[in-house]
Chains A and B, each alone.
Chain A
Amino acid sequence: MLTLDHVSYKYKGGVQAITDANTEIGPGTYLLIGSNGAGKTTLLRLLSTLLFATEGEVKLDGRDITLRRPEDMKQIFYMPDDLKSPMPTIAELEKRHACFYPSFNPELLRANLTDFGLTGTEKLDSLSLGMRRKSLLAYALSLGVKYLLLDEPANGMDIDSKKIFMRMINRCVSDDSTLVIATHNIHELSSMFTHLLYLDKGRLSLSISIPDLLERIAFVTSPSPVQGAAYQEPFGGLFHAVIANEDGLDTEIDFPLLFSALTSAAGHSLADFINRYNPRSHEF
C-alpha cells in the first residue's frame, strides 16, 4: 500500500504544488485528474521518489519510500509523459535495464510491441513521438511492477491505439497491482478505472473508489434542466447533470462530466458533498 501522510511539496521558487495530501493507494486502477498545474505530475513524482516531500511522508507498506531501498524500488515504476530512453532501442533497454526488475516479463514485452506494430529493434530516435511513446509504454507495462504510475500515457495516440492500450492494461495489470494514470483522455479510457483521485490546486480533494462515488452521486440526462443538480451542462439538445444520489440510482460514471463539475464554480461544494455524505444514513 502506498500511503500519503500529510504530504506537501513546495518547489524552490516558492510554488506550493501539493498541500496536505492524505490517502492510501492500494490495488486497483486509479484515475488522477486535475486542471493544468493542479499538481498531478508532482504527485506522481512524489510517489515514485523522484521528489521528496517537503512535509509529511510517503510510505510503501509502512516504510519510508525516500530511502529508495532496492526491494521497494523494484515494485514501483513511473513513466513521465516525456520519458526518453538512454538506450537506442527497446531491445537494448530490455538488455540493460529490465534486469533490475525481477517481475519483468519478456513475452509480455514482445506481445505489447507486436500489438503496437513494433519489434523493439527500431532506433527510437528514428520513430515519431507517438511511436516512441508506444515503445516505452509497451516496455513499462511489461516490467510487472506492483505500482505503475503513468503520466498522460495516451497523449498523441489515435483511437485505435487507445483501444490497444486498454487491452494491454487488462493483459499486463494484475488484480493485486496498482495502476495510477494521470490523463486528460478520460472519455476513451474511462471503463478501466476503479478509483478516482482529484487534485484541486494542489489539494487532494477526492480519493474514492468508483462504486463509493456512485453511491453518493448520480449522472442523469434530461431533456429539460434538472432541478437541484450540483452541476449540469447542455449538449446535443439534452441536459447532462450530476446530482446527489439520494434515491440510490444505479448510474454509470461520466468522467468528463464529473471533471467539468469538479472544476466548475460548484466544484468545491461537490467534492465536499462527496467526502462528507453517508449514502447509508443519508446524512453528513
Chain B
Amino acid sequence: MSFDFSRFTSLWSFYHPRMLRMWIIAGGALLITYLGLVADYCYRTTFGYPLFSSVVSYIVFGAPFVFALGRERALELQIPATAAERTAVPVLFCFIVAPVGLSLLWEIYESIGAAFGVPSDLLRILNKMYAKGEPELTGFLDSVNYRSFTYMLCGILGNITPMAFGLYAALIARRSPVMSTIAGLVIGMVALGVVCMIFGIVIAITELTKADLISMGDAPYEEGFKAGLSFVTTMIRLVLYGMATLGAVVFAISIPVFYNKIKRSQI
C-alpha cells in the first residue's frame, strides 16, 4: 500500500478543525502569557514569572489533545487511509508542526513587543531577576544564548519524550482519551526527569573530578565562583544535550511503534 499525498492531505484536513482549536487556545494562552511577562517587566517584579514561564515551557503539550478531544473513534478507524498516512498526521503535527509553530508564534509576539520597546530577551531578563539569589545560575543564564538554533533545537527535542508518551496514550485510549493523554504526558515527564537525574549525577561526578572543586575549598571566592560557574554551565549544557539526544532517540523509536499500533487499532 503506497503513501498517497492526496489522502494524507485529506486526513490532515479532517483533523484541521481540532488543530485550529489548539492553535487558537495555545496562541491565546501564549499571548496572555507574553502580556503577563511584559507586566512583570514593567513593574520590575517576578510575581507571575513562575506561572508564565511554565506556560511557555508546557504549552506545546497541548498538541496530543488534538487527537484525544472531540474524536469519534468509530468514524476515524474506518477512514480509507493507510496506516502510514494515519501515522504521519499525528507524528508530524505533534513532533514538528506544533513545537516549531508555537516557537515561531512566540518569536512573533516578541518581535511585535520589541517594536513597542519591550526587550526581545524578556524571558532571560525575568529569569535572571527570579534567580537573583543564585549568582551561579544568573551567571549561567548570561552565558547561554537562548536564541541560538542549537538551544532552540534542544528545547524542541527535549519535549519529544513526554510528547511521545502523551500522543501514544491519546491514540490507544479507548475510554477517557483526555485523562489517558494527561497520564501519558505526566509519565513521559517523569521518565524524562529520571533519565536527566541519572545523566546529571554521572555528569556531575565526572565534572567535579575534572574541575577538582573539592580541593578548591580554601581558594579565594572569585576563583571558586568561576570554577563553580564553569561546572554548573557545563553540567546544564550537557544535560540539555542529553535530553535532546534522548528526544531524538524516542522520536526514531516512536514512529514504528505508532505505526504498528495504529495499524492494529480496534474500537
| Residues of chain A whose beta carbon lies under 8 Å from any beta carbon of chain B | 45, 48-52, 67-74, 76-78, 80, 83-88, 92, 96-97, 99-101
Residue B74, interface by CB 8 Å: yes
Once the chains bind, are A97 and B79 in contact (CB under 8 Å)?
Answer: yes
A168 to chain B, nearest CB (A): 20
A/B interface sample: 23 pairs, CB < 8 A: A48-B78, A51-B266, A52-B266, A68-B83, A69-B1, A70-B1, A70-B4, A70-B80, A71-B80, A73-B81, A74-B80, A78-B74, A86-B14, A86-B71, A86-B76, A87-B17, A96-B16, A97-B14, A97-B79, A100-B7, A100-B10, A100-B79, A101-B80
Which residue numbers of B lie inside 8 Å of A, CB to CB?
1, 4, 7, 10, 13-14, 16-18, 70-72, 74-83, 263-264, 266-267
Q: Distance in Å from the Cβ of B83 to the closest Cβ of chain A?
A: 7
The answer to whether A77 and B17 touch across the interface, beta carbons within 8 angstroms, is no
- The closest CB in chain A to the CB of B18 belongs to A86
B80 and A86 contacting across the interface, CB-CB below 8 Å: no
* Bound: A100/B75 CA distance, A: 12
* Given A83-B72, A96-B17: A52 in contact with B78 (beta carbons within 8 A): no
Q: Which of B1, B13, B74, B80 contacts A80 (CB 8 A)?
A: B74
> A74–B80 Cα gap in the complex (Å)?
6
- Asked if A96 contacts B1 (CB within 8 A), the reply is no
Nearest neighbor of A92 in chain B, beta-carbon distance: B17
Inter-chain contacts of B7 with A (CB < 8 A)? 70, 100
| 5 further interface pairs, Cβ-Cβ under 8 Å (given A50-B77, A50-B266) | A50-B267, A70-B1, A70-B82, A86-B75, A92-B17
Contact indicator A85/B78 (Cβ below 8 Å)? no
B80 to A73, Cβ gap below 8 A?
yes
Nearest CB in chain A to that of B83: its residue: A68
Known: A70-B1, A77-B78. A52 touches B264 (CB 8 A): yes
| A32-B16 Cα distance, complex, nearest whole Å | 37
A239 to B97, CA, bound (A): 70
Q: What distance in Å separates the Cβ of A70 from its nearest Cβ neighbour in chain B?
A: 4
In chain B, what residue has the closest Cβ to A46? B266
Cβ of B76 and Cβ of A51 under 8 Å apart? no
Closest residue on chain B to residue A50 by CB atoms? B267
Q: Are A50 and B74 in contact (CB under 8 A)?
A: yes
Q: How far is the CA of A72 from the CA of B79 in the complex (A)?
A: 11
Known pairs A51-B267, A92-B17, A96-B17; A78 contacts B78 (CB<8 A): yes
With A and B bound together, what is the CA distance between A84 and B74 in angstroms?
A: 9
Residues of chain B lying within 8 A (CB to CB) of residue A84: 72
| Whole-angstrom CA separation of A151 from B93 in the bound complex | 34
Residue of B nearest to A93 (CB): B75
Complex contacts, A76 vs chain B, CB 8 Å: 78
B253 to chain A, nearest CB (A): 24
B residues in contact with A45, CB < 8 Å: 267
Indicate if the CB atoms of B74 and A100 lie closer than 8 Å.
no
| Residue in B14, B18, B81 whose beta carbon sits within 8 Å of that of A70 in the complex | B81
**How far is the CB of B28 from the nearest CB of chain A, in Å?**
20
Q: Which residues does chain B contribute within 8 Å of A69, judged by CB atoms?
A: 1, 82
Q: How far is the CA of A52 from the CA of B10 in the complex (A)?
A: 26
CB neighbours of B16 from chain A (8 A): 96
| Nearest CB in chain A to that of B267: its residue | A50
| Shortest Cβ distance from residue A195 to the other chain B in the assembled complex, whole angstroms | 23
**Contacts of A83 on B, CB cut-off 8 Å?**
72, 74-75
Residue of B nearest to A71 (CB): B80
| Complex CA distance for A246 and B267, rounded to whole angstroms | 46
Give chain B residues whose Cβ lies under 8 Å from the Cβ of A85: 72, 75
CB B258 to nearest CB in A, in angstroms, measures 16
Measured in the bound complex, the distance between the Cα atoms of B267 and A52 in whole Å is: 10
Q: Which B residues are in CB contact (< 8 Å) with A87?
A: 17
- The residues of B that contact A68 with a CB separation of less than 8 Å are 82-83, 263
Given the complex, which residues of A lie within 8 Å of B14, measured CB to CB?
86, 96-97
A85→B14 CA distance, assembly (Å): 12
Is B79 a contact of A96 with CB atoms below 8 Å? Answer: no
In the assembled complex, the Cα of A48 lies from the Cα of B267 at a distance in Å of 11
> Which chain B residue lies CB-closest to A73?
B80
Q: What residues of chain B lie closer than 8 Å to A48, measured between beta carbons? A: 78
Specify which of B13, B81, B83 is in contact with A96 (CB 8 Å cutoff): B13
Inside 8 A of A71's CB, which chain B residues have their CB?
Answer: 80
B51 to chain A, nearest CB (A): 32
CA gap between A51 and B266 in the complex, in Å: 5
Complex Cα spacing A92 to B15, Å: 12
Tell me, in angstroms, the Cα distance from A84 to B69 when the chains sit together.
13
Give the CA-CA distance A219 to B79 in the complex, in Å.
43
Residues of B within 8 A of A88 (CB): 17
Which residue of A has the minimal Cβ distance to B14?
Answer: A96
Determine the distance from Cα of A202 to Cα of B34 in the docked complex, in whole angstroms.
60
Residue among A48, A49, A67, A68 with max Cβ neighbours from chain B (10 Å): A68
How far is it, in angstroms, between the C-alpha of A61 and the C-alpha of B10 when the chains are bound? 27
Bound state CA distance, A136 and B140, in angstroms?
Answer: 59
Report how far A267 CA is from B261 CA in the complex, Å. 42
